Amino acid sequence: MLPHMNRPVYIWAALAAALSLSACIKVDGPGEKTQPGNRKVDFDVSVTRGGGQPVKTKAGGYDVGEGELKMDPGIPFGLVGIDIQTNSLLVDNMAVSGSGSGSYSAFLENGIWDIPTPISFSAYYPYVRDIRYADSYSSYIIPYSAQETEAGPLVSKTVQRAVDQLNMIPLQFQHITNDIGYKICDVTEDPQLQGLIHLRKVTATNVAQAGVFINDITLSRGVWYRQGYYRDVVVFEGDVPVGVGSEGELFIGTDQLVPRKSESSRYYSIPDEIEMGKQTVEVVYDVDSFTVNGFTYPALEGQVARYCLYGLLPDNVFEYGKQYTFHLGLDLCKVYQEVVFSVSVSGWEDKIYEDNEDF
């Protein structure tokens, strides 16, 4: 428990898409098995996706696409419930697991059914054992490690229900991390240099991967506090030709270039402020040999292009709950450009020095 934790000031951004998860709870009828002192509830989980239109910038920038909600039934979600009047804790971080068919069930204590005031329910995914509460239980802190971040954390909006309304509890989940991926193409304008690039490796550097999320049940919103844990993420490793121009642009997959975002190599990260020179995307590629004007240029291996994220996003800040697809363009004209030497000539001035060491 956090003694006298001050509630932080929250700054909110609009979500790219609304994600909803509906769950209904049914109380056992006569003859059904019950756990002593508890009542069994079944969660009928359904998942929908938002239909927001993506906002696209020019090539070399990024897309903000609709969110995709993903839940693995083998990974439980956490359920928290408090008395809306007294803020007393009724459901203490219960792990609700799914079955192979995708259905969820749990046992709630009988004492809940005697509460005269509405109950506030909050849920989050994936389940974390060691959450902490504020003194009033009106908010709780979820410490997310890199492993939990990779599972695509979600938090629901608060739902208030009286005991006689517990037959249906709609939980609207939203992403609280960023979903990030990449597209790539050959943007070389000279036709003689097009179609020569082979993609070998793509690495995102300094990706924020751990932090704590403070979820306020009363206000139905939360805020991130990062823990300073960063790592490099290898997005792609293989050997594939890169398509030419915007019409040949494809998503980067694990070892292939793919046409659909759902097949691409994507990762979740904790929202972070972008600093100049810190977060980059490094692309390693090879170039086939070619002949121009009777001169043969040898093949190149292990060429590196670096793209800085600074300056691409508004205010250089990732907004949680959004998907970002960054567009990468490789230009061979910048690799094979001629080196131009120039010289300037001036008169030799007569100078008098007091000591030769100054000359």
Read off the amino acid at residue 186.
Answer: D
pLDDT for residue 14 is more than 50: no
Q: Are residues 271 and 286 located together in one domain of the fold?
A: yes
Whether residue 241 lies inside any domain: the answer is yes
Indicate which CATH number applies to the domain containing 203: 2.60.40
Whether residue 250 lies inside any domain: the answer is yes
- Model confidence band, residue 105 (pLDDT cutoffs 50, 70, 90): confident
Q: Are residues 81 and 138 located together in one domain of the fold?
A: yes
Give the residue, 47 or 246, on which the prediction is more confident. 246
Other CB atoms within 10 Å distance of the CB of residue 210? 18
Q: Any idea what DSSP says for residue 165?
A: G
91 within 8 A of 112, measured Cβ to Cβ:
yes
Q: Are residues 76 and 201 located together in one domain of the fold?
A: no
pLDDT for residue 341 is more than 60: no
pLDDT for residue 22 is more than 70: no
Q: What is the pLDDT of residues 39-84, one digit of tens each?
A: 776 665 544 444 333 433 333 565 555 555 567 888 899 999 999 8
Q: Are residues 115 and 193 located together in one domain of the fold?
A: no
Q: What is the pLDDT of residues 129-170, one digit of tens each?
A: 999 998 889 999 999 999 899 888 888 888 888 887 776 677
Task: Give kind and range of the element (H or E) at residue 53.
Answer: none
Q: Are residues 264 and 116 located together in one domain of the fold?
A: no
User: What is the residue range of 265's domain?
Assistant: 178-209+229-334
Residue from 190, 205, 153 nearest 143 by CA:
153
pLDDT for residue 234 is more than 90: yes
Whether residue 215 lies inside any domain: the answer is no
211 within 8 A of 144, measured Cβ to Cβ:
yes
Q: Are residues 182 and 117 located together in one domain of the fold?
A: no
Whether residue 117 lies inside any domain: the answer is yes
Q: What is the pLDDT of residues 256-275, one digit of tens each?
A: 999 998 899 999 999 988 99
Residue from 76, 128, 80, 85 nearest 103 by CA:
76
Task: Determine which of 177-181, 327-331, 349-353 has the lowest per-residue pLDDT on average.
Answer: 349-353
* pLDDT of res. 64: 56
* pLDDT of res. 294: 86
Task: Give kind and range of the element (H or E) at residue 150.
Answer: helix 146-150
Give the residue, 174 or 27, on which the prediction is more confident. 174
Other CB atoms within 10 Å distance of the CB of residue 48? 12
* pLDDT of res. 114: 83
How far is residue 329's CA from residue 307's CA, in Å, rounded to a whole number? 9
Give the residue, 282 or 170, on which the prediction is more confident. 282
Whether residue 185 lies inside any domain: the answer is yes
Taking only Cα atoms into account, the Rg of the chain, rounded to an integer number of angstroms, comes to: 28
Give the residue, 228 or 7, on which the prediction is more confident. 228
Residues in Cβ contact with 342 at an 8 Å cutoff, skipping those fewer than 6 apart: none
* pLDDT of res. 58: 37
Question: How many structural domains compose the chain?
Answer: 2
Q: Are residues 240 and 329 located together in one domain of the fold?
A: yes
How far is residue 254's CA from residue 258's CA, in Å, rounded to a whole number? 9
Whether residue 14 lies inside any domain: the answer is no
Task: Give kind and range of the element (H or E) at residue 108.
Answer: strand 104-109
Place of tokens 């229900």: 161
